[in-house]
Amino acid sequence: MSVLSVDNLRTSLVIGGVEYHALREISLSVAEGETLAVVGESGCGKSMLAMSVMGLLPSVAAITMGHVTLDAVQIEAASESVMEHIRGAKIGMVFQEPMTALNPVLTVGEQIAEPLRDHLGLSKREARKAAVALMEKVRIPAAATRYNSYPHEFSGGMRQRVVIALAIACRPRLLIADEPTTALDVTVQRQILDLLDMLRTEGKMGMLLITHNLGTVAGHADRVAVMYGGDLVESATVKELFRSPAHPYSRALLASLPRVDRDLSELASIPGRVPALINMPEGCRFIDRCPHAMERCHTMPPSVAVGESQAHSVRCWLHVQGGEDAAEG
């Protein structure tokens, strides 16, 4: 059963009185206990996607088409007060910069205890006990004494653990982690990602892991959605994507990655840059940088299945029957 399903979602932005599609026709789902990684470079729309799901879009943006279903309830048109409850109890959020998610003048314990009282109706003492248990669960050493510490007394990694404790406090169904380790050192990154994996399996949560780091995806996700310019260009299991990427952008992205485990003669690089939202191409948004661009790419490509498995799909004309040969070259 899927915890989150996004169906044909379009999010639009109004700039100077003109409407632009920041997200086009996004469909994806996250199953119970599964991690779906959303990868892409800046401007690909991955954070916009997260905000659309959480109902935290800025005032100039809105969902203009499609559905977001969380735990069998449609939420794309939910009111702010309903969303507030959903965000507190059903969706846990972990952000890139833990300091901005924490209140500097409250002790970390109080901050973890607060949602427990608000959303689960625990008494003050119960909440305190539960908060300490949560802190132990995210492996904060000496949790009972550190209950009374303030965020600035914690290291970056420990703060992120506090944020995670806060996120899972009400046993959410879905965990959205938006670049959760980008601001952390590599040794700490691994600890945090391992912790998230453990909590997700244990709590049977679905996880939407938003990241730009393909290395993180390889080690910590089950399935992956590649985004470019507001389109979901390819979606596959992690193994499939790394073994046989189908979209020209995914291929180029994987080939441009320096490797710590082997020598590469030269990195493939993608010429040019992501176009700004206000001058996105009409059809495939990768058209200007794609080595395989052809006439039909001026119309939006459909999403088609690759190979036998229904789990691998790509939005590219190369893979449409009657299109050019899909092989490399």
Partner 1 sequence: MLLKVEELRVSFSVRTGWPFPETHELRAVDGVSFDVREGESFGIVGESGCGKSTVARAILRLVDSKSGRVVFSGIDITSIPARHLRRLRPRLQMIFQDPAASLSPRMRIGDALAEAIRVHAIASGPDIDALVRNALAEVGLPPESANRFPHEFSGGQKQRIGIARALVLSPSVIIADEPVSALDVSVQAQILNLMARLKKERNIAFVFISHDLGVVRHFCERTAVMYLGQIIETGSTRNLFDAPKHPYTRLLRSVSPVPDPEKPAHLDVEEGEPPSPLNPPSGCRFHPRCRFVTDICRSETPDLRPVGAGFVACHHAEALPPAES
Partner 2 sequence: MSEALTIDRRVRRLPPGRVAIIAGAAIMAIVAAAAILAPLVAPHDPYAQSMLARFRPMSAEYWLGTDQFGRDTFSRILYGLQITLWTAFASTALAMLCGTSIGILSGYYGGRVDRWLSAANDLLMSFPQMVAGIIIVALLGPGITNLIIAIAITAFPAFYRMARSAALALRERDYIDACRVLGYSDMRIISRHLLPETLDDIIIVATLWLATAVRTESSLAFIGLGAPPPAATLGGLVREGFDNLLDYPGLAIWPSLAILVVMIGLNLMGDGLRDANDPRASA
Nearer to partner 1, 91 or 138 (CB): 138
The Cα–Cα gap between 201 and 231 comes to 29
Nearer to partner 2, 62 or 300 (CB): 62
Output the smallest distance, CB 61 to partner 2, in A. 7
The number of residues making up the chain comes to 329
Q: Which of 239, 104, 226, 94 is nearest to 172 (CA)?
A: 94
Q: Which does 17 bind (CB under 5 to 8 A by kind): partner 1, partner 2, none?
A: partner 2
What are the residues binding partner 1 (CB under 8 A)? 41-42, 139, 155, 157-158, 185-191, 194, 212-219, 238-239, 242-243, 252-254, 256-261, 263-264, 266-271, 273
Q: Which does 64 bind (CB under 5 to 8 A by kind): partner 2, partner 1, none?
A: partner 2
Q: Which of 246, 106, 221, 209 is nearest to 166 (CA)?
A: 106
Nearer to partner 1, 5 or 235 (CB): 235
Nearer to partner 2, 62 or 122 (CB): 62
Structure token pair of residue 82: 């309903």
Structure token pair of residue 7: 């169906």
Q: Which does 212 bind (CB under 5 to 8 A by kind): partner 1, partner 2, none?
A: partner 1
Nearer to partner 2, 16 or 272 (CB): 16
Output the smallest distance, CB 138 to partner 1, in A. 11
Q: Which of 63, 67, 62 is nearest to 8 (CA)?
A: 67
The Cα–Cα gap between 128 and 106 comes to 14
HSE, CB side, 13 Å, CA atoms: give it for residue 191.
15
Q: Which does 12 bind (CB under 5 to 8 A by kind): partner 1, partner 2, none?
A: partner 2
Nearer to partner 1, 133 or 276 (CB): 276
Q: How far is CA 236 from the centre of its chain?
A: 15
Nearer to partner 1, 6 or 252 (CB): 252
Nearer to partner 1, 67 or 190 (CB): 190
Is residue 310 classed as helix, strand or coil in its secondary structure? coil
Q: Which does 219 bind (CB under 5 to 8 A by kind): partner 1, partner 2, none?
A: partner 1
Longest dimension (CA), the chain: 67
By CB under 8 A, tell whether 29 contacts partner 2.
Answer: no
**Among residue numbers 59 through 98, which ones bind partner 2 (CB under 8 A)?**
59-62, 64
HSE, CB side, 13 Å, CA atoms: give it for residue 207.
31
Show the CA angle centred on residue 293, arms to residues 290 and 295, nearest 5°: 155
Determine which helix (DSSP H) or strand (DSSP E) holds 192, and give its type and residue range.
helix 186-203
The Cα–Cα gap between 39 and 228 comes to 9
Residue from 3, 9, 13, 50 touching partner 2 (CB under 8 A): that is 13
- Please count the other Cβ atoms lying within 10 Å of the Cβ belonging to residue 168: 22
Stretch that binds partner 2, among 56-64, 139-147, 172-180, 190-198 (CB under 8 A): 56-64
Output the smallest distance, CB 16 to partner 2, in A. 8
* Interface ranges with partner 2 (CB under 8 A): 12-14, 17, 19, 59-62, 64
